[in-house]
Homo-oligomer: A and B are copies of this chain.
Amino acid sequence: MFSIGDFARLGGVSARTLRYYEGLGLLDPIAVDPATGYRSYSAHQLPRLNRIVALKDLGLSLEQLRPLLDDLSAEQLRGMLQLKRAELQEQLADDQARLTRVEQRLRHIEGEDTVPIDVLVKKVPPVRLAFVRCDEPGIGFDNMQSALGAAVLALRERLDAAGTRASGPMVLFYEDRGDDSVIPHVGIDIGDQAVPVDDLVQECTLPAIDVVSTTHSGGGGHDAIGPIYGQLARWAEDHGYQPYGPGRDVVLEASGGGTEALLELQLPVTQSG
């Protein structure tokens, strides 16, 4: 016959914990004084308390270990433990990966190695676009900017003329030519509206993809974007993703009126897991 404090000391837990277990119906005192509310515990309850503590120490939640208190069959216990083993293995892998990322980032800080911090993975839904190709001969890196600008203006003009409402952001996407160069396209989300297709304006539906994504604000034009895609690819590999194919640039905010342009750069990846 022990008071709650003595019994708690015996089991290496707090009195509050014993009251909590009582509330959950895991371990009732053998008696409660009706006048004072004082609880009494028996020495014979100590094995049960010890079992609770030991199972908790294996990582089981109180609800998980509850059935194991009454039914000590090896079957039950084995089932729970196998489950717990799988959980622990998964968590170990997660934490190991997280630790690797933290360490990588620390090395980058030391080495002044610039890898962007604001990178995330997300799913991009399919988009239906009206678009214009920008592959006229003579377009290179130096005049790409203006060629794209011209294409944007032309696209807007045609859509306006046809009364098509295109509210979403501009999307720059690239088609692999196969010879290490790409054909740029500039498009805009038109939802399910019809669009006048001619020799200039075409339509297509970009498929849903998983991407690693980051933002890039304005300065530097097209020259600055190449290296960022390199960093995105490296980040992807570091995190267990495989990049494939060219990226997409989403114009979240166009430049003009004193505000700098803001792009979201999306690099398609598959999870190599």
Contacts and interface: CB of A to CB of B under 8 A. Distances in A.
B58 A12 contact: no
A43 to B, nearest CB: 4
Interface in A235-273: 252-253, 262, 264
* Central interface residue in A42, A54, A213, A217, by most chain B CB within 10 Å: A54
A98 interface: yes
Contacts of A46: 215, 252, 262, 264
Contacts of A51: 117-118
A214 B54 CA distance: 10
Contacts of A99: 85, 88-89, 92
B122 A43 contact: no
Interface stretch (A100-108, A180-188, A220-228): A100-108
Contacts of A88: 95, 98-99, 102
A117 to B, nearest CB: 5
Interface of A: 10-12, 42-44, 46-47, 50-51, 53-55, 57-59, 74, 77-78, 81-82, 84-85, 88-89, 91-92, 95-96, 98-99, 101-103, 105-106, 109, 117-122, 213-215, 217, 252-253, 262, 264
